[in-house]
């Protein structure tokens, strides 16, 4: 072959000899081989793999930030009151037609009248949607594998002080108590069987019309009643039903939804439910599913302050604040009710990002000023400042305080920061909110910028149990004081039940206008199968073994059977003060997860899910106490044995 020599071009340029070309190509091919070898085989090449292997893995979520006009468009009142935990739905008329969800129907929306100059109701940031190596993949490899830095289910079980289900599944020796426990178990089977018959795979059962309900607060996720029921079915020994639920999770739980979900509700129900199912059974499917879901929640934290927004699209990662929340704020009870689950996501995945996210929330709350030591319900995720000074131990605030003391207990009492925050908050609550009625009832009022609203919500009735379980760890001289306060609040909540015609408590009750522990407003008279009063009965029974708590629990069972049981399940009622029952046609998933579970535990021996080993998240899903020292010791022992 003859190569033409162009004028002015030397042999070292276009006129290379054949042997020179061969050597050049050989060198080039070697360089390419070396680069790709490093890309695929060296341990630190994950980021490079992301670049070359999949464009979809690194596509960021590109979104615009909302303006003040966007905020006003989002600040719409909800249209209905059909969602669990009193959530309501509404559509904000934005350019993208995003749905917005509100938190509690029992809370008035005067908050929407206040605006924060420059507040943003919707502002999102860029975050890659997945990683080349997901947390679920790492965790699955860890149980096959083999380093001491991976989670071991066997080591975890070895660190429990007692068997989770007790000596005889918690069966009480007293025949009368055992009979009552069996009745609660029958109620669970009845509720479950009808859900399976008429609403399988949907989020909840509509027992009057015998069909399923999906709702719009889970972002396209399905099967909320299934996930919420897993641990209840297991501890009750309903193994056929549990296996049906497990099979549905294996075959039908699709986490690749593209809808708008409540970060709070998905966390406490789905993440909490899957975590507890894994810790109780060791079934790998629950761990892989929960770690996959956990990753999908992380983009909600991508804000200037790290305070997550309340609503997230699980598919795109887009997040925004509730349309009705003042000036695009985040809600205390929502961003403050993530700690327990996220710590366990870190435990299972060995990825510290989950713990870092919730600890960042703590740091901000410790840094900003609290009015009279109180934590208002609305916080801007942009500025990190309180938006308005409304304080409630009920709706919008409740489980934030619960998670402080439970974080301390779940840490094997090593989380001193959580302990300090909890007792500091409790002192401020006692000084500003705890009131005594003329009739001698102790209750927790709400605080609106220094003005007390003498109302207590059903949701606030969890606080009797909360104060009770924290009594042993405050100042020693205050132990009896806290137990007395817990008993007084639980008594007040029981009174809200006994003073109604149905012996079920209203959504909210007041202590003004001459009435005490009764709902004076028509829109507070409903009961939607809520668990909070029964939750306090269970804790107070375990702490004191006063038989009145079991009697009060049995009164609730009889009332539920008489007024809420229908032909095809259990339904809430619209007015607890009339014997002419009007059903709301909804069997809430938390009825299966919380109400019936707490009743079952109330009539069981204390060694069924003993409090020495377990804490319950706010959806009553049991999560184990994290004993770091024990796990580390066992890891060392295992390593020594293997050597």
Residue 239: pLDDT band by 50, 70, 90 thresholds?
very high
Query: What residues form DSSP beta bridges with 319?
Result: 312
Between CA 528 and CA 459 the distance in angstroms is: 11
- Given a contact cutoff of 8 angstroms between Cβ atoms, the answer to whether 174 and 622 are in contact is no
pLDDT tens for 475-520 read 899 999 999 999 999 999 999 999 999 999 999 999 997 789 999 9
The angle that helices 175-199 and 224-235 make with each other, rounded to 10 degrees, is: 150
Q: What value does the mean pLDDT take over residues 536-545?
A: 98
State the Cα–Cα distance between residues 351 and 338, nearest whole angstrom: 16
Residue 23 scores a pLDDT above 80? no
Range with lowest mean pLDDT among 7-11, 117-121, 264-268: 117-121
Q: Is the pLDDT of residue 589 over 60?
A: yes
Q: Which of 495, 507, 516, 594 is catalytic?
A: 507
Residue 507 appears among annotated catalytic residues: yes
Q: How far apart are CA 594 and CA 133, in angstroms?
A: 35
What integer is the mean pLDDT of 351-369? 98
Q: Based on the number of CB atoms within 10 Å of its own CB, is 108 exposed (0-12), middle (13-18) or buried (19 or more)?
A: exposed
* pLDDT confidence band for 18 (50 / 70 / 90): low
When pLDDT is averaged across residues 59-85 and rounded to a whole number, the result is 33
pLDDT of 79 reads 32
Q: Give pLDDT, residue 402.
A: 98
Q: Average pLDDT in the 580-601 region? A: 98
- What's the CA dihedral at 104, 105, 107, 108 to 10 degrees? 140
Average pLDDT, the chain: 83
Give residue-wise pLDDT tens across range 601-621: 999 999 999 999 999 999 999
Portion of the chain with pLDDT greater than 90, in percent: 71
Q: Is the pLDDT of residue 212 over 50?
A: yes
Q: How confident is the model at residue 346 (pLDDT cuts 50, 70, 90)?
A: very high
**Are 425 and 375 in contact, with CB atoms under 8 Å apart?**
yes
Segment (H or E) for 442: strand 442-444
Mean pLDDT is lowest, of 23-37, 339-353, 579-593, for: 23-37
CA distances from 364 to 152, 194, 306, 358, 401 (A): 33, 46, 9, 10, 16
Q: How many other CB atoms are found less than 10 A from the CB of residue 277?
A: 28
CA neighbor of 504 nearest in space, from 569, 570, 556: 556
- Which tokens go with 565? 């049981």
What mean pLDDT do residues 75-89 have? Answer: 37
Q: Where are the alpha helices (DSSP H) in 174-257?
A: 175-199, 224-235, 239-252
Q: Which residues of 508-519 are buried (b: 16+ CB within 10 A; e: fewer)?
A: bbbbeeeebbbb
**Which segment of 175-179, 323-327, 383-387, 557-561 scores lowest on mean pLDDT?**
323-327
Domains located in the chain, CATH noted = 135-146+155-642 (1.50.10.10)
The pLDDT value given to residue 26: 67
Phi, psi dihedrals of residue 101, rounded to the nearest 5°:
-125, 140
The mean per-residue pLDDT over the stretch 516-535 comes to 97
Look at 65-74, 278-287, 376-385, 554-563 and tell me which has the smallest mean pLDDT: 65-74
State yes or no: pLDDT of 130 exceeds 80: no
Residue 259 has pLDDT above 90, yes or no: no
Element (H, E) at 569: strand 569-570
Q: Are 588 and 204 in contact (CB under 8 A)?
A: yes
Asked whether the predicted pLDDT for residue 141 surpasses 70, the reply is: no
Q: Which residue has the higher pLDDT, 149 or 249?
A: 249
Q: Say what the pTM is.
A: 0.80
The DSSP result for 140-163, as a single string, is: HHHHHS--TTS--HHHHHHT-SS-
Query: Is the pLDDT assigned to residue 368 strictly greater than 60?
Result: yes
């Amino acid at each position: 072959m003859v190569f033409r020599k162009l004028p002015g071009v030397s042999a070292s340029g276009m006129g290379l000899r054949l042997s020179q070309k061969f050597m050049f190509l050989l060198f080039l091919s070697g360089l390419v081989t070396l680069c790709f070898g490093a890309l695929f085989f060296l341990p630190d090449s994950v980021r490079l793999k992301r670049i070359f292997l999949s464009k979809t893995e690194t596509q960021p979520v590109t979104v615009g930030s909302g303006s003040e006009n966007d905020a006003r468009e989002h600040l719409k009142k909800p249209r209905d009151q059909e969602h669990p935990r009193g959530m309501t739905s509404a559509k904000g008329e934005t350019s993208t037609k995003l749905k917005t969800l509100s938190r509690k129907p029992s809370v008035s929306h005067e908050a929407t009248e206040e605006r924060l100059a420059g507040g943003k109701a919707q502002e999102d940031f860029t975050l890659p949607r997945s990683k080349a190596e997901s947390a679920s993949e790492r965790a699955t490899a860890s149980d096959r594998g083999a380093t001491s830095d991976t989670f071991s289910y066997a080591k975890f079980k070895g660190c429990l002080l007692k068997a989770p289900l007790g000596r005889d599944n918690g069966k009480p020796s007293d025949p009368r108590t055992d009979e009552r426990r069996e009745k609660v178990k029958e109620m669970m089977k009845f509720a479950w069987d009808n859900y399976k018959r008429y609403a399988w795979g949907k989020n909840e059962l509509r027992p009057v019309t015998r069909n399923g309900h999906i709702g719009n607060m889970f972002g396209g996720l399905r099967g909320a009643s299934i996930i919420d029921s897993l641990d209840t079915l297991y501890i009750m020994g309903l193994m056929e039903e549990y296996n049906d639920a497990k099979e549905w999770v294996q075959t039908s739980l699709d986490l690749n939804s593209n809808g708008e979900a409540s970060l709070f509700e998905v966390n406490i129900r789905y993440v909490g439910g899957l975590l507890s199912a894994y810790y109780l059974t060791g079934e790998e499917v629950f761990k892989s599913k929960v770690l996959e879901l956990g990753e999908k929640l992380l983009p909600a934290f991508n804000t200037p302050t790290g305070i997550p927004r309340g609503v997230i699209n699980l598919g795109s990662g887009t997040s925004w604040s509730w349309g009705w929340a003042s000036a695009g704020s985040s809600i205390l009870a929502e961003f403050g009710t993530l700690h327990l689950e996220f710590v366990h996501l870190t435990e299972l995945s060995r990825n510290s990002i989950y713990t870092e996210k919730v600890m960042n929330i703590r740091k901000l709350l410790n840094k900003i000023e609290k009015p009279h030591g109180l934590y208002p319900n609305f916080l801007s995720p942009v500025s990190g400042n309180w938006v308005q000074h409304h304080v409630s131990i009920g709706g919008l605030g409740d489980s934030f305080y619960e998670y402080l003391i439970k974080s301390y207990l779940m840490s094997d009492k090593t989380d001193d920061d959580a302990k300090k925050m909890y007792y500091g908050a409790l002192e401020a609550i006692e000084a500003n909110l705890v009131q005594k009625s003329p009739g001698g009832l102790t209750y927790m009022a709400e605080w609106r910028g220094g003005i007390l609203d003498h109302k207590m919500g059903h949701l606030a009735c969890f606080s009797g149990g909360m104060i009770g379980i924290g009594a042993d760890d405050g100042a020693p001289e205050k132990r009896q004081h806290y137990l007395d306060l817990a008993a007084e609040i639980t008594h007040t909540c029981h009174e809200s039940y006994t003073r109604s015609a149905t012996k079920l408590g209203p959504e909210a009750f007041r202590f003004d206008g001459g009435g005490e522990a009764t709902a004076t407003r028509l829109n507070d008279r409903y009961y939607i199968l809520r668990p909070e009063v029964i939750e306090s009965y269970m804790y107070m029974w375990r702490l004191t073994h006063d038989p009145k708590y079991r009697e009060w629990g049995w009164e609730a069972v009889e009332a539920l059977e008489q007024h809420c049981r229908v032909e095809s399940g259990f339904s809430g009622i619209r007015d607890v003060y009339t014997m002419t029952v009007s059903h709301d046609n909804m069997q809430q998933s938390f009825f299966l997860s919380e109400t019936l579970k707490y009743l079952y535990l109330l009539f069981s021996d204390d060694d069924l899910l003993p409090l020495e080993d377990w804490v319950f998240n706010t959806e009553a899903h049991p999560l184990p106490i994290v004993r770091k020292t024990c796990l580390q010791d066992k890891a060392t022992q295992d390593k020594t044995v293997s050597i």
